[in-house]
Amino acid sequence: MDKFVIEGGHPLKGVIPVSGAKNAALPVLAATLLTADEVTLDRIPKVRDIRTMAKLLESVGAEVKPNNGGYAVRVTEVTSAEAPYELVKTMRASSLVLGPLVARCGEARVSMPGGCAIGARPINLHLTGLEKLGAKISQEHGYVRAHAPNGLTGAVIHFDRVTVTGTEDLLMAAVLAKGETVIENAAREPEVSDLADLLTKMGARIEGAGTSTIQVEGVAELHGATHAIIPDRIEAGTFLIAGALMGDPLTVDGVNTEHIAALIDKMRQAGVEFSFPSEDRIEVRASGKLRAVDLATKEYPGFATDMQAQFLAMMTQAEGESEIIETIFENRFMHVSELLRMGADIAIEGNRATVRGKTELSGARVMASDLRASASLVIAALAARGETVIDRVYHIDRGYERIEEKLSGVGAQIHRAE
């Protein structure tokens, strides 16, 4: 397994680019299953989860061609409605093909998904929604089977709790269902709106994406389209936090500031100062005088759970005591034990972490447990004294494109080793 070797204490100076959003690209790729025409997708990040999704599409009959930093995908015919365990065992987003496959073929068999060990993320909300649309659901041998030989029919679907992938999955199923579908308590994340933008370009009739109520008028078929993925707000936020600790200054390029408004607000409360050289650029400089602030993760437009680990790493370098409450995933403090090895002062009680700063971090050998935990360890290593070795960086490869090359380009002493 690969590892990162990082020599801390080096300032970050220059411009660091943001890639397309992995969490937007995955549902958009799944949406190509809804038409026999070619769909051209730009700004697709070159990360492990995307390669897995491309292989999954090919396994069901898609032709996936690299195309100027993206993909051209054509699914002339779905030759298999099964997403096998071998392909989906490392990726939660595999469940996103369930809705499109049953909508187009009347049949889908998808292995129960894998991915990061950050807590239970059941797909029962997807399945209940598909049943409302008329699919018959069964589970056996680790697979979920959805069966709707006569097609899907529009319905009112109310999610008991907000689910991003559930909203995306049901949205894709509904665009080919007969009649109107209303999705209540829908996720409002930018990635949902991005998917709706593509589906609309393909001929879908959707209103309300980006709000808690989405209305879909089903159509008989969709056609091809060209679409560019939105910037990755989590990657942008990760680089901003790195810049708040080590920027001299650091400019994050290709960012949508609206998508990270909650993060910018919390960072400003902590004493971080920003400048905005252009509409899609943010400049940040390390002041060395951070203040402790409290936060609780929330669904969008609240503070993203995917930024919690990185913000917690920053709080180890802030003066005072901060309290961080994780409300989305029950198992998302797995990075804390590794930060303790580096000298952080953090106490965990249930879904609450108390961080006492400022502590001097020192390099150590640590292990990544999930995607965003990996990013928090990279941030801590950049600020630490001495050398840090991060094992199992395949987690970070799932969601960050060439992060070591991007950071090296602005002065970080980081390299990948086998």
Burial 129-156 (b: 16+ CB within 10 A, else e): bbebbbbebeeeeebbbbbbeebbbbbe
With residue 285 as reference, give the H or E element that holds it: none
Instruction: Find where tokens 């071998």 sit.
Output: 86
Burial 312-340 (b: 16+ CB within 10 A, else e): bbbbbbbeeebebebebbeebbbbbebbb
Task: Please state, in angstroms and rounded to a whole number, the distance separating the CA atoms of residues 44 and 125.
Answer: 28
For the purposes of burial, counting CB atoms within 10 Å of the CB of 184, is it exposed (0-12), middle (13-18) or buried (19 or more)?
exposed
The DSSP-derived string for 318-330 is EEEEEEEE--S-T
Task: Please state, in angstroms and rounded to a whole number, the distance separating the CA atoms of residues 136 and 109.
Answer: 12
Instruction: Find where tokens 């026999």 sit.
Output: 36
Task: Please state, in angstroms and rounded to a whole number, the distance separating the CA atoms of residues 318 and 324.
Answer: 13
Q: Which of 56, 88, 116, 225 is catalytic?
A: 116
Strand 12-17: give its sheet, edge to edge: 12-17, 247-253, 281-284, 274-278
Told to judge if 105 belongs to the known catalytic residues of this protein, a careful annotator would answer no
Q: Which amino acid is at 390?
A: I
Catalytic positions: 116
